[in-house]
Structure 1
């Protein structure tokens, strides 16, 4: 069975007549009848029932018509997209970014795209990871960044890096710092029990990661404030109402200005993966591929230049 046979089969069903279908296809009627017989032999069942007025699809024929329509649409789309690789990328691409990723990638991506792909319109949508995942599942965005997404089986993930969460406190909380504003001496794991924490709610992806890692170490934190806002969390910590756990990218400006302080935590793995995520059920466009490639290059450059404290993960 090939594409030509499928198209001819669909035409027979559309015309409900082998003779009329042969006329429309510009082939001899006996030749088309032979194609249909070979197709029926291949599937081991009758696909059309002959009547005095023409042909009527059997149950098996109607089932094949549905599959044929899907297959032919996919083949047309694949042909168009492969051929489009020779053309300048164009179109709209919606990208979902969590707050931290948006801080480091959102503006650089938009600026770089204006030069490298002027016919592509990028819509950056900032949201919590749970919302971005839902947008991907609903087909409302073409590309997203998610953290610790390895176990999401129904979405396609490409891990680009791993970053580590830091203990973040008010100004001067952890002593002498390095060039990145991080304390030169790490905090030992048991000291976490002595702090009051300001964390996102339990449904938040960051909180899930923290709780999972704490559970592995048989450790619990005193969470006195729950709030799903990065900006408000940093304000509350700066006001000395508690501590939190965040990646360096989320607090680098505040560390540079001295509003906040940060330290590594010794004895517990607080790293998380950072991945580009797609819905494999969505059509893959040239524009979205180019946007993903550009975003990947920008993030790798940030790591190499020390503007994003993360460890790159090589493509598999």
Structure 2
């Protein structure tokens, strides 16, 4: 079995007629017929039912079609990747980020990509943790920054950082003047909950509160930190998130963030293990790690430490 035979087989399975398939392939019909016969003999199955109107694929042919198409796509990608090694990275790369991380990373990441890979088109896709992993597996994004541990074993991961989860509130709130917040004091706090249950920051908070025997007082639920911080500034309550997501408000004195004792979040870069990365994707991993390292080391990512 070789790639030429598989290509002939795929065209014939789609055309369902030897004459039409031979025209598409620009080969003589006897040559096509011979290659299909050799493939059937090697596999030990009948792939087509020949009749006056053409050739109908058998069940075995339909089974083979999906796998043969994948092999040819894989071979084509391999060819393109090898050619790409001889030139600068190019093409689209989609990176999945949570809304909070997108606020922090969009500008420095875009600048770094334009500087190092001018022929690459960066696409930033925002989503919550569970949806980002689904996008990775479906191929909607090439890379994503996820929380560790990610579910499943079909991912290749790279360590990034560990950061404190913080209680975030207005600076004039006396509860925000302590060096650290303790979960056992959360019982009466009015909370603006972000994200979805059993995911990300909210999962860590809910697990920590259950361990401490504290029932959380959820005033309102929102999806993004952008909405949450507006409610906090308006005095609705406090929220729990990572401090870097509200960095501009911290620097402007509109909000304050204090670490919650015992609550941390680990970040990783992930890609799907069943699809080999393009050269542009490999370079994007390095750029993303470099951008994040510079932010942490420069004090632009508060309450975070790099993982080795």
TM-score normalized with structure 1 length? 0.74
> Is 1:290 aligned to 2:283, yes or no?
yes
Indicate the structure (1 or 2) with the bigger Cα radius of gyration. Answer: 1
The residue aligned with 1:179 is none
Shift of 1:102: 1.6
**In the alignment, is the contact (CA less than 8 A) between 2:196 and 2:223 conserved in 1?**
no
SS in 1 for 2:76: helix
> Is 1:190 aligned to 2:184, yes or no?
yes
Structure 1 unpaired stretches of 5+: 177-182
> Is 1:301 aligned to 2:301, yes or no?
no
**In the alignment, is the contact (CA less than 8 A) between 2:91 and 2:121 conserved in 1?**
yes
> Is 1:150 aligned to 2:144, yes or no?
no
What's the CA shift string for 1:106-164, capped at 9, x where partnerless? Answer: 10011122221111222334444455455545544333323345115566544422222
> Is 1:107 aligned to 2:107, yes or no?
yes
Question: After alignment, is 242-251 or 43-52 more displaced?
Answer: 43-52
Question: Quick one: which of 211, 225, 228 aligns to 2:223?
Answer: 228
Quote the Cα distance in structure 2 between the aligned partners of 1:262 and 1:54: 72
SS in 2 for 1:187: coil
Quote the Cα distance in structure 2 between the aligned partners of 1:241 and 1:215: 24
Quote the Cα distance in structure 2 between the aligned partners of 1:287 and 1:298: 16
The residue aligned with 2:204 is 209
Quote the Cα distance in structure 2 between the aligned partners of 1:57 and 1:225: 57
Quote the Cα distance in structure 2 between the aligned partners of 1:65 and 1:88: 34
Structure 2 unpaired stretches of 5+: none
**In the alignment, is the contact (CA less than 8 A) between 2:183 and 2:209 conserved in 1?**
no
The residue aligned with 2:267 is 274
Question: After alignment, is 243-252 or 58-67 more displaced?
Answer: 58-67
Shift of 1:96: 3.0
Question: After alignment, is 296-305 or 110-119 more displaced?
Answer: 296-305
The residue aligned with 1:180 is none
The residue aligned with 2:307 is 313
Quote the Cα distance in structure 1 between the aligned partners of 2:66 and 2:207: 45
Question: After alignment, is 144-153 or 73-82 more displaced?
Answer: 144-153
Quote the Cα distance in structure 2 between the aligned partners of 1:52 and 1:169: 78
SS in 1 for 2:236: coil
The residue aligned with 2:244 is 249
**In the alignment, is the contact (CA less than 8 A) between 2:195 and 2:224 conserved in 1?**
no
**In the alignment, is the contact (CA less than 8 A) between 2:183 and 2:208 conserved in 1?**
no
> Is 1:87 aligned to 2:87, yes or no?
yes
**In the alignment, is the contact (CA less than 8 A) between 2:192 and 2:232 conserved in 1?**
yes
What's the CA shift string for 1:259-313, capped at 9, x where partnerless? Answer: 32222223x3x21222334455667433333223211211122223332232333
Quote the Cα distance in structure 2 between the aligned partners of 1:278 and 1:250: 23
Mapping 1:170-185, distance limit 5 Å: 170-171=170-171, 173=174, 185=179
**Would you say how many aligned residue pairs link Structure 1 and Structure 2?**
300
Shift of 1:249: 0.6
TM-score normalized with structure 2 length? 0.76
The residue aligned with 1:168 is 168
